[in-house]
Amino acid sequence: MSEGSESTKPFVYGAEDGPAHWFVNNRALIKASAEQTGGLFSLLEMRLGPGHSPPLHIHDQEDESFWLLEGELLLRCGDEKFKAGPGSFIYLPRGLPHTFMIEGDVLPRLLVLLVPGGGERFFIEAGRPAEGPGFPPVAPPDIELMMKVSEKYHQRIVGPPLSQQH
């Protein structure tokens, strides 16, 4: 068994622990940052706000996976569409365009795993520190900021949200 590196150390976050950020109309708790894991991965708990559907986008340097804890999603990855409910695991390989939209009346809560780590910085820079519990006030996304920050973190916005696709 490995003893770990000098740059990383064990840690435990409780259910509501971790830096909280508001991103569009979502709440992200950073459970493990690239800095904490020596760059191996990042893990976020996302609570998606009403109507959230990200633009169709591509991650060029990381794989993204979701473990859907609550709610339902309709996802598009490449040319395929998937429906996912509580307990579903979703793997979205780097290089493939993907997006999703909320289905049903339950707001989704999911774990987002980014491998290698570092993608959590997108949510930090394109969002803001949470100013309290719950969701931010509803506002339209700042697409210009999202595009600028996406580029910095090797992501590309390539189309509209799934909610706007036919």
For 88, list phi and psi in degrees, rounded to 5.
Answer: -75, 145
Distances (CA, A) of 23 to 51, 52, 110, 143: 13, 10, 15, 12
pLDDT at position 94 over 60: yes
The torsion of the CA quartet 83, 85, 91, 92, rounded to 10 degrees, works out to 50
In contact, 118 and 39? CB cutoff 8 Å: yes
pLDDT at 82: 96
pLDDT at 143: 87
Tokens 């580029």 locate to 151
Structure confidence at residue 139 as a pLDDT band (50, 70, 90):
confident
Structure confidence at residue 5 as a pLDDT band (50, 70, 90):
low
pLDDT digits (tens, 9 = 90+) for 56-92: 999 999 999 999 999 999 999 999 999 999 999 999 9
For the domain spanning 20-164, the CATH number is 2.60.120.10
Spell out the residues 6+ positions from residue 2 whose beta carbon is closer than 8 angstroms to its own: none
In contact, 72 and 25? CB cutoff 8 Å: no
pLDDT over 70, % of the chain: 95
Which is nearest to 128 in space by CA: 46, 51, 26, 56? 26
